[in-house]
Structure 1
Amino acid sequence: MPHQQTIERKTARTTTKFTGEVTCKGGSSRGIVKDLSAAGICFQLYFDINATTGQEVSIKSDEFGHLTGVVQWYRGDKIGIRLNVSSNTSAQISSYYKYFR
């Protein structure tokens, strides 16, 4: 029986369920932010935007404003976005936890 590896995350994720919009070179789609951490987002798309791994994206939401990142993975209607690290990004994520959580 093969040994399954356990992936340890550097930052804890919080399950969420609020709407936002993701835009990339291939198009844009509204959808649901399924989980959120200081390092990334799991976003469930309403429409396919032909996002590819490594592609830059922007994310807008009333809960945290405007963030940018890179597509880390893409599976069906969900994409994983690694957020661009900056003090502004950290402040926006902290603000979400403070006011919306």
Structure 2
Amino acid sequence: MIRNLKITARKADRRSCRVFGKIRYLNNQVDARILDISATGAALEVKAPLYAASGSKVRIEAENLGLLEGVIRWTHNGRVGIQFDVNSNARALIASYFRFFHREVPRVR
């Protein structure tokens, strides 16, 4: 049996991490933990329901990352996949995180 879910996989390498922050959608703000991150996006675990659909614009605020904007690509069982807006500021923030703050951690399943 072949399943074709039409999911576009992230092209950049993912790195597991445990960065705590907040995700903001419109006037709602939810505590979140970034589970893995790449130059183009991140997977987050949210502490409370985030009532936003795929394609919704969100902001991620984390102490080690700063403020990143992106779009929700998927949601599943309390987890959210975010694709970052492609701009030089986002690339600089991610590069800075990997250079100064990132520590490899075991992947959470």
The equivalent of 1:86 in structure 2 is 87
AA aligned opposite 1:17: R
Report the alpha carbon displacement of residue 66 of structure 1 after superposing the two structures with TM. 0.2
Amino acid at match of 2:82: I
- Cα pair 1:26 1:51 within 8 Å, conserved: no
* Unaligned stretches of 5+ residues in structure 1: none
Q: Which amino acid aligns with 2:77?
A: G
Contact 2:10 2:40 in 1 (8 A): no
2:39 maps to which residue? 38
* C-alpha distance in structure 1 between counterparts of 2:91 and 2:37, whole Å: 12
Amino acid at match of 1:18: V
Contact 1:40 1:81 in 2 (8 A): yes
Relative to the length of structure 2, the TM-score reads: 0.84
1:4 CA drift (Å): 5.9
Please, what TM-score do these two structures have when normalized by structure 1? 0.90
**Structure 2 counterpart SS, 1:94:** helix
Q: Residue type matched to 1:49 in 2? A: L
Map 1:20-35 → 2, pairs under 5 A? 20-25=21-26, 27-35=28-36
Length, aligned pairs only: 99
**Aligned mates of 1:9, 1:21 — CA distance in 2:** 22
| Identity value in percent | 27
Distance 1:41 1:76 in 2: 16
With CA pairs under 8 Å and 6+ residues apart, which has the higher RCO, 1 or 2? Answer: 2
Once residues 82 and 76 of structure 1 are traced to their aligned partners in structure 2, the CA distance between those partners, rounded to angstroms, is 18
Instruction: Tell me how large the CA RMSD over aligned residues is.
Output: 1.5
Change (3 A) 1:61 1:53: same
> Does structure 1 residue 100 correspond to structure 2 residue 104?
no
Stretches of structure 2 lacking an aligned partner (at least 5 in a row):
103-109
Asked if the contact 1:43/1:79 (under 8 Å) is kept, the reply is yes
8 Å contact from structure 1 (residues 26, 50) kept in 2: no
